[in-house]
């Protein structure tokens, strides 16, 4: 009986994730526009003195017309030299705006508060968001902007984590997997989210939501914004798999930081629609059955793990090939251990604690 159930749920997992392959391929994520509107790039940073300069330099090196590019640097109550570094670039470049943020309100806290303040100082028709520990490619702005047509409100993009060890490598593969799922679901016009370190939003679409001031507080401000735009029913959300939009970012330095990241994402994702929970239910059950090998038997559990790993590899292939990262397959077993662990542990963790620590500050969801 247990073996039959294991087989059935494994088949369901396979069908669901292989169906995502069609989402990746439809509709064709091709550039739609040659317009060059004025844009604002927003970078909210808290205690990022070691990374912010590389981020700013990569933005200044973009090929988008300088007179149409506004870079908004938001100092989110940093206690290190982040603010001083930002001010130095503001004095050197006329298209860089410095926004210091010191106060928080009940609804506007953390990064959402910082971004809301930055948006107030922005004058672009399209907002592009990235993080202080990211480096953007030379054609990032122009390529992302080209995916906007008159009906598109949000364009997401992939981010690759720098990797040099087994720990960083499994994180990089994990991110490609999560981004692939997000892009595939968006291909079915049922977007789950787009990630805030590579996110572009039309000003009109942002205004339609009322802005962060009118949105409920979330520890995942990107997720809450994407879903608010989706709920307006007016805008398409596109998630192209384009090498010219691939951003690089830093992995978590240790297991504690990785756990906090996953915990924050899981807590913020607790607002998913019921249909999304139904989609992820087989994922949880398959992973749970694999670790229950003493009950179901070692051979069925191993077979299930091998099938699941094969399906995950197939789903990853297009992204890894597109972004020339096929070498990350060598971390597939470590990724599977990480994937199984957080899928099984985090739902129970957020039941007992929705307190999230991020950038040395704690928030209660």
Residue that is written with structure tokens 């629609």 in the block: 273
Q: Which residues pair with 145 in a beta bridge?
A: none
Residues 6+ apart with CB under 8 A from 119: 40, 42, 127, 206, 211, 212
Residue 169: closest CA among 337, 52, 20: 337
What whole-number distance in Å separates Cα of residue 308 and Cα of residue 336?
Answer: 9
DSSP label at 252?
A: P
pLDDT at 166 (0 to 100): 96
Percent of the chain clearing pLDDT 70 (strictly above): 85
Query: Which comes out higher in pLDDT, residue 108 or 63?
Result: 63
Task: Report CA-CA distances (Å) from 214 to 220, 270, 313.
Answer: 15, 19, 41
320 Cβ contact partners less than 8 Å away, ≥ 6 residues apart: 176, 326, 328, 329
Q: Give the pLDDT of residue 264.
A: 81
- Cβ atoms of 155 and 126 within 8 Å: the answer is no
pLDDT at res. 358? 61
Per the prediction, the chain carries an average pLDDT of 87
Q: What angle do CA 155, 156, 157 make, to 5 degrees?
A: 130
Question: Across residues 94-111, what is the average pLDDT?
Answer: 83
Put residue 178 in one of left, alpha, beta given phi > 0 → left and psi -120 to 50 → alpha: alpha
Question: Residue 328: pLDDT above 90?
Answer: yes
* Confidence bin at 276 (pLDDT 50/70/90): low
Pairing of strands 361-364, 355-358: antiparallel
Q: For residue 251, what is the DSSP state?
A: P
* pTM of the shown model: 0.90
Whole-Å CA distances, 279 to 9, 17, 19, 237, 328: 12, 10, 12, 20, 26
pLDDT at 107 over 70: no
Higher local confidence (pLDDT), 8 or 128: 128
pLDDT, tens digit, for every residue of 217-275? 777 788 889 989 988 989 998 999 999 999 999 999 999 999 888 888 777 666 666 66
pLDDT score for 287: 83
Predicted confidence band of residue 15 (pLDDT cuts 50, 70, 90): confident
CB of 363 within 8 A of CB of 109?
A: yes
pLDDT score of 118 more than 70: yes
DSSP type of residue 117: H
Q: How confident is the model at residue 362 (pLDDT cuts 50, 70, 90)?
A: low
> 172 and 248 in contact (C-beta within 8 Å)?
no
Between the two ends of the chain, the Cα-to-Cα distance in Å is 40
Domain boundaries, the chain: 2-23+269-352, 29-262
For residue range 159-218, what is the model confidence (pLDDT) as tens digits?
999 999 999 999 999 999 999 988 888 877 776 677 889 999 999 999 999 999 898 877
pLDDT tens profile 139-160: 999 999 999 998 999 999 999 9
Domain 29-262 is found in CATH 3.30.1330.20: no
pLDDT band at 302; cut points 50, 70, 90: confident
């Amino acid at each position: 009986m247990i073996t039959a159930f294991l087989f059935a749920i494994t088949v369901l997992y396979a069908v669901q994730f292989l169906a995502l392959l069609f989402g990746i391929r439809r509709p064709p994520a091709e550039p739609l526009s040659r317009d060059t509107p004025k844009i604002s790039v927003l970078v909210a940073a808290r205690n990022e003195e070691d990374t912010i300069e590389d981020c700013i330099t990569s933005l200044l090196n973009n090929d988008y017309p300088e007179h149409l590019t506004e870079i908004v640097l938001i100092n989110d109550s940093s206690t290190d030299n982040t603010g001083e570094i930002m001010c130095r670039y503001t004095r050197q470049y006329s298209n860089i705006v410095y926004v210091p943020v010191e106060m928080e309100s009940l609804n506007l806290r953390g990064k959402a508060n910082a971004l809301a303040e930055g948006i107030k100082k922005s004058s672009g028709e399209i907002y592009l968001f990235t993080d202080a520990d990211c480096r953007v490619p030379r054609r990032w702005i122009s390529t992302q902007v080209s995916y906007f047509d008159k009906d598109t409100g949000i364009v997401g993009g992939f981010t690759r984590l720098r990797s040099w060890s087994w720990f960083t490598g499994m994180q990089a593969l994990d991110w490609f997997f999560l981004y692939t799922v997000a892009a595939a679901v968006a291909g079915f016009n049922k977007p789950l989210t787009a990630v805030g370190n590579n996110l572009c939003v039309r000003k009109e679409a942002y205004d339609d939501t009322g802005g962060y001031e009118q949105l409920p507080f979330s520890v995942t401000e990107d997720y809450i914004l994407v879903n608010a735009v989706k709920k307006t029913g007016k805008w398409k959300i596109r998630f192209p798999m384009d090498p010219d939009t691939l951003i690089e970012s830093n992995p978590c330095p240790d297991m504690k930081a990785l756990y906090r990241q996953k915990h924050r994402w899981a807590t913020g994702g607790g607002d998913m629609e019921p249909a999304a929970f139904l989609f992820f239910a087989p994922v949880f059950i398959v992973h749970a059955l694999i670790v229950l090998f003493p009950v179901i038997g070692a051979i069925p559990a191993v077979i299930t793990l091998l099938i699941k790993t094969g399906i995950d590899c197939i789903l990853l292939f297009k992204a890894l090939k597109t972004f020339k990262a096929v070498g990350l397959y060598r971390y597939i077993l470590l990724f599977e251990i990480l994937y199984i662990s957080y899928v099984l542990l985090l739902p129970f963790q957020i039941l007992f604690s929705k307190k999230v620590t991020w950038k040395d500050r704690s928030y209660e969801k």
